[in-house]
């Protein structure tokens, strides 16, 4: 894996860029669901939300999540980047698991909205909209401050 060392600045840059794109989608899709809840099923506005939600998930969120994982794995495999005896990376993995769960839950909900089902209340979507923010805070603190 020594061949990864000279590529580290590039893999780390691409990882951060893809995480930014993924997070943008994780912040925006639940907000779209809040607005989608405010219009009746089969209303033309509902159909527009379905298109917006599908495109956001398929064209931005899915590719950026895959890129985040791919470049993140390359960063982790780069020799000397991770001190495996430190505990912070366990907490970061928890944050990644939460983001991945959010992504999968939002994707499942998109299919339900597509069928004109309303999987949660508007209030529940507003609350779920905050979960990626909390996970992001955990991840950033673990990676930057490495408190343990």
Q: Which residues 6+ apart lie within 8 Å of 56 measured at CB?
A: 25, 28, 29, 32
Structure confidence by residue, pLDDT tens digits, 72-130: 999 999 999 999 999 999 999 999 999 999 999 999 999 999 999 999 999 999 999 99
Query: What is the model's pLDDT at position 28?
Result: 98
Is 1's pLDDT higher than 90?
no
What is the end-to-end Cα distance of the chain in Å, rounded? 26
Instruction: Give the helix/strand (H/E) hosting 81.
Output: none
| Separation in Å, CA 39 to CA 34, 99, 144 | 10, 28, 42
Structure confidence by residue, pLDDT tens digits, 15-37: 999 999 999 999 999 999 999 99
């Amino acid at each position: 894996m020594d061949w990864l060392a000279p590529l580290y600045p590039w893999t780390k840059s691409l990882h951060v860029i893809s995480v930014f794109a993924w997070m943008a989608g994780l912040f925006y899709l639940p907000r779209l669901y809040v607005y989608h809840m405010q219009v009746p099923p089969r209303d033309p506005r509902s159909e527009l939300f379905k298109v917006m939600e599908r495109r956001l998930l398929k064209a931005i969120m899915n590719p950026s999540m895959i890129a985040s994982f791919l470049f993140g794995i390359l960063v982790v495999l780069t020799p000397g980047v991770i001190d495996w005896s430190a505990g912070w990376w366990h907490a970061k993995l928890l944050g990644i698991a939460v983001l991945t769960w959010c992504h999968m839950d939002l994707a499942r909900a998109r299919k339900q909205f597509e069928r004109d089902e309303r999987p949660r209340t508007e209030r529940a979507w507003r609350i779920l909209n905050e979960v990626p923010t909390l996970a992001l805070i955990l991840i950033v603190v673990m990676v930057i401050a490495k408190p343990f």
